[in-house]
Amino acid sequence: MTTFLTHALVLVGAFFALVAAIGLLRMPDLLMRMHAATKAGTLGASLLLLAVAVSFGDSGVTVRALAAIVFLFLTAPVAAHVIGRSAYYAGRVKLWHGTLVDELQERRGHRNDSPRPVRPNSRPHHSVPHSTQPETKHS
C-alpha cells in the first residue's frame, strides 16, 4: 500500500511540475508565467516531498518534509506576487494584448510620480556624526 501511494504521489507531483514547465513556455506574459510556475510548481514540489515522507516512513523525515511543504506554501506565492508587482511598477512588464482589466494601472502613476515623504526630525542619509568621521592628518 505504501509503495502504491508513493508512486501515485510521485506521478501526480511530476505531472504538476510538468504543467508548471509548460506554463512557463506557453503563457504570453511575465505575470501569467509566474502564476503558472508558482501554483503548479509549489503543488508539484509539495507532492514530491510528501512522497518522500511516505516512502521513508521515518518521523524525522516526515517532519522535515512537512516543514518544507509549509515553507513552500507560505513563501513561494508571496515571493512571486512581490516580484511580479515590483516588475509591473518598474515598467518591466508588457501585458498580454488580451488582458481586459489592469487594476494596478491607476496606482502605477501615483506611486512613481509622488516623491517619498520625509519624516520630520530625520537626518539625511549622507550625514555622519562628527565623532565617527576619520581624522585626517595634515603634513
CB 43, CB 74: distance < 8 Å: no
Rounded to the nearest integer, the mean pLDDT of the chain is 81
Of the ranges 8-17, 99-108, 130-139, the best mean pLDDT one = 8-17
| Range scoring the smallest mean pLDDT among 47-56, 61-70, 97-106, 122-131 | 122-131
CB 43, CB 89: distance < 8 Å: no
What element of type H or E holds 16?
Answer: helix 2-26
> Cell 494601472 identifies what position?
105
In this prediction, residues 95-105 reach a mean pLDDT of 80
CB 13, CB 72: distance < 8 Å: no
What element of type H or E holds 40?
Answer: helix 30-56
Helix/strand/coil for 100: coil
Q: Of 3, 77, 83, 84, which Cα lies nearest the Cα of 39?
A: 77
The total of other beta-carbon atoms located within 10 Å of residue 127's CB is 7
In this prediction, residues 70-75 reach a mean pLDDT of 95
- What is the identity of the amino acid at 32? M
Comparing 78 with 120, the larger pLDDT belongs to 78
Domain ranges in the chain are: 2-94
